[in-house]
Amino acid sequence: MHTTVGKDSEGEQMDFSEIVKKRYATKKFTGEMIPQDKIDELLDLVRLAPSSFGLQQFKVKVVTDKEMKEKLQAASWNQPQITTCSHLLVFCAYTDVPKRIKQFGELMTAAGVPAENVQGFTDMTSGFVSNLSKEALLAWTSRQAYIALDHAMLGATALGFDSCPMEGFDAAAYSKILELPENTVPVVICPVGIAADEPRPKLRVSKDDLFF
């Protein structure tokens, strides 16, 4: 359990390796709310996550309402993280990529990129997306959401609180409960809060089993 937000238990600034080692999948939170300014910092970090073509093909539903969490818990194998966390982040693949292409084009224009280059980017990415099947589009946008998820997990640790990546939930039920449009598909969730458990040692295969 962390009591000093933004620092490790000795109050020292952590380096990246310490953050990676300290992060763990928290099984239960205290129910304490994370201050809004810290959540804002976390979302700022998530917003800076990279994505394919820079298109940010994801959205994140941020849930704090108690009743809503209880409904979602019932659609999450009743896992205690859902109702004991501070903020529940629901990472969604966002399949309205044409909208993101338009938005990115506007950002490029505002940044002074010549119109010809903006058009080239728009044509190239639009062509790429139009060649994807519905399934491939969802798989591709989902993968980008996982990069943002990792920024969130590491960010939570860096900011002095805890998180838990979870795939064990009923995505269709989440869509219904959260009234999500068809283009916003929940793919992974990440409750964040103050841990009420202790980390267990990380179990990892050897480097030879991972790298070759």
Positions that interact with a second copy (CB under 8 A): 13-17, 19-21, 23, 25, 41, 43-50, 52, 54, 56, 58-62, 100, 103-104, 107-108, 111, 135, 139, 142-144, 146-147, 149-151, 153-155, 158-159, 165, 167, 187-188, 201-205, 207, 209-212
Please give the Cα distance from 84 to 138 (Å, whole number). Answer: 30
Taken in order 105, 109, 113, 115, the sign of the CA dihedral is positive
Q: How far is the CB of 190 from a second copy (least distance, A)?
A: 11
Are 52 and 140 spatial neighbours (Cβ–Cβ below 8 Å)? yes
Query: What are the phi and psi torsion angles at 192 (to 5°)?
Result: -125, 150
Please give the Cα distance from 70 to 63 (Å, whole number). Answer: 11
Task: Tell me which DSSP letter residue 12 carries.
Answer: P
Are 147 and 140 spatial neighbours (Cβ–Cβ below 8 Å)? no
Nearer to a second copy, 69 or 100 (CB): 100
Closest CA to 149 of 42, 63, 70: 42
Query: What are the phi and psi torsion angles at 18 (to 5°)?
Result: -65, -40
Nearer to a second copy, 28 or 151 (CB): 151
Q: How far is the CB of 203 from a second copy (least distance, A)?
A: 4
Nearer to a second copy, 33 or 113 (CB): 113
Nearer to a second copy, 92 or 194 (CB): 92
Q: How far is the CB of 42 from a second copy (least distance, A)?
A: 10
Q: Which two tokens stand for residue 50?
A: 């990279």
Q: How far is the CB of 151 from a second copy (least distance, A)?
A: 7
Q: Which two tokens stand for residue 187?
A: 């793919």
Nearer to a second copy, 75 or 188 (CB): 188
Q: How far is the CB of 115 from a second copy (least distance, A)?
A: 16
Nearer to a second copy, 24 or 75 (CB): 24
Q: How far is the CB of 194 from a second copy (least distance, A)?
A: 18
